[in-house]
Structure 1
Amino acid sequence: MTRTFRRGGTGGAGGDLDLYQYAYLAGGGLRVAESAVVSLTERGTLSLGAARLRVTGEERPEHPVELAVVVACPRSKPVREVIESVGHSSEVDVIARRLVSLGLVRRWRRKPTRAGRRRLADAASAGQVPAYALRGPAALVPGSARRGPLDVHPALGDLGRALTRMGKALDDDRGHGTDSSADAGGFGGGGGDW
């Protein structure tokens, strides 16, 4: 079950784009993998616990990227490994080549063209693309994924707690996890005399 997000107004070149094509325009291959993990977790196909993914549902996804995520974690596997593996997979490469053929992504650098950025902006302003496809898993919780919502302490359900843990794991893996990282020593910006 893959959701297709339609562009408002007149039909553009190449027709409708799906969730993962918009995710590629927003953040490349890794954003496609992150979006697939979030989508499968929301549907109950994947379970997230202690920054590890595990297949729990009986659903056999039809979209090649979702299937690649399910295949990438036959047993419990770290979230970052699954995202890295799928983000650089042939399934994501097929999405990139399709977007290149539509003129929405540059051939060599695989970055969105002006038309691709415009198409993404139009779909985002029309509310046709989920926030996690545009900004990644951190968009699921207002405020920092590490600290949670600002001034609000909602009673999160199992999915909310799992997605918050996923945001924490992604923050930690990318080196954005702690507030005291600037105080951790190492090389300072002290401008000493050399």
Structure 2
Amino acid sequence: MTRRFRRGRADSGGKGLDPYEYAYLAGGGRRVAESAVVALTERRTLALGAARLRAIGEERPEHPVELAVIAACPRRRPVREVIEAVRCSSEVDEVARRLVSLGLVRRWRRKPTRAGRRCLADAASAGHVPAYALHGPAALVPGSARLGPLDARPVPDGLGRILARMGKALDDGRGHGMDSGTDGGSCGGGGSGGD
């Protein structure tokens, strides 16, 4: 009877997920950090130049992960350092804890459960998840950043090249498939405590 209750929780748990929770299901904390960097760069809250990030603009993001990215790069800072700082942040840990409580991620190894993988696959097939959240920076193809909604103003020519460089700077050569749901390293902490 207990098993049936948990399965029901996990099946209904994916309906209210945000893009960063889907990113965690697709690639762990590293993918969450990468996705936040890409999203903020697309919204011109971050500037990327020579594999370094800096906060620009006056937008104050509401999502805690995005706030962690902004806090991680008040001045020009290497992309890899920002990604690592955010990957190990309490904000990303909170994303993982929420997914654990929904039954979509295992508590110990922080890998997606069967229900989590199914939830991610369903959202991906329905088109609810940005490509960079699913596949990381490998999803950024040259020129794709210039294309946007039809009613948007044209994006400057250099932005596409900048995002392509960012994708290369973030790509560390490891696989970016759904099987790579681990963070690829330790943040210095142990397992999560009990909720």
- Asked whether the two chains share a fold, i.e. TM above 0.5, the reply is yes
Q: Provide runs of 4+ in structure 1 moved above 6 Å.
A: none
Q: Which runs of 5+ in 1 are unaligned?
A: 1-10, 143-155, 177-194
Aligned residue for 1:13, secondary structure, equals helix
Aligned residue for 1:12, secondary structure, equals helix
Maintained 8 Å contact 1:35/1:133: yes
Q: Deviations over 1:156-191 (max 9, x none)?
A: 8222111111122123xx257xxxxxxxxxxxxxxx
2:24 is the counterpart of 1:19: no
Maintained 8 Å contact 1:54/1:73: yes
Aligned residue for 1:68, secondary structure, equals helix
Higher relative contact order (CA 8 A, sep 6+): 2
Where do residues 85-164 of structure 1 align in structure 2 (5 Å cutoff)? 85-141=85-141, 157-164=157-164
Output the amino acid matched with 2:55: V
Maintained 8 Å contact 2:23/2:133: yes
Output the amino acid matched with 2:87: G
Output the amino acid matched with 1:137: P
Aligned residue for 1:47, secondary structure, equals strand
Where do residues 167-186 of structure 1 align in structure 2 (5 Å cutoff)? 167-171=167-171, 174=172
Give the Cα–Cα distance (whole angstroms) in 2 for the partners of residues 66 and 169 of structure 1.
19
Higher-Rg structure is 1
1:14/1:126 CA distance change after superposition, 3 Å: closer
C-alpha displacement of 1:15? 3.8
Q: Deviations over 1:133-161 (max 9, x none)?
A: 0000110117xxxxxxxxxxxxx822211
Maintained 8 Å contact 2:52/2:79: yes
C-alpha displacement of 1:65? 0.2
Output the amino acid matched with 1:34: E
TM-score when scaled to structure 1? Answer: 0.74
- Alignment-derived partner of residue 45 in structure 1: 45
Maintained 8 Å contact 1:41/1:159: no
Give the Cα–Cα distance (whole angstroms) in 2 for the partners of residues 26 and 14 of structure 1.
13
Give the Cα–Cα distance (whole angstroms) in 2 for the partners of residues 170 and 14 of structure 1.
28
Output the amino acid matched with 1:47: A
Figure out how many residues of one structure are paired with residues of the other and give that number. Answer: 152
Q: Which runs of 5+ in 2 are unaligned?
A: 1-10, 143-155, 175-195
- Alignment-derived partner of residue 35 in structure 1: 35
Aligned residue for 1:62, secondary structure, equals coil
1:170/1:14 CA distance change after superposition, 3 Å: closer
Give the Cα–Cα distance (whole angstroms) in 1 for the partners of residues 160 and 138 of structure 2.
12
More helix by share: 2
Give the Cα–Cα distance (whole angstroms) in 2 for the partners of residues 87 and 100 of structure 1.
17
C-alpha displacement of 1:14? 6.1
Q: Deviations over 1:98-127 (max 9, x none)?
A: 000000000000000000000000000001
Aligned residue for 2:13, secondary structure, equals coil
Identical counterparts, % of pairs: 79
Maintained 8 Å contact 2:26/2:135: yes
Maintained 8 Å contact 2:14/2:119: no
- Alignment-derived partner of residue 179 in structure 1: none
Aligned residue for 1:119, secondary structure, equals helix
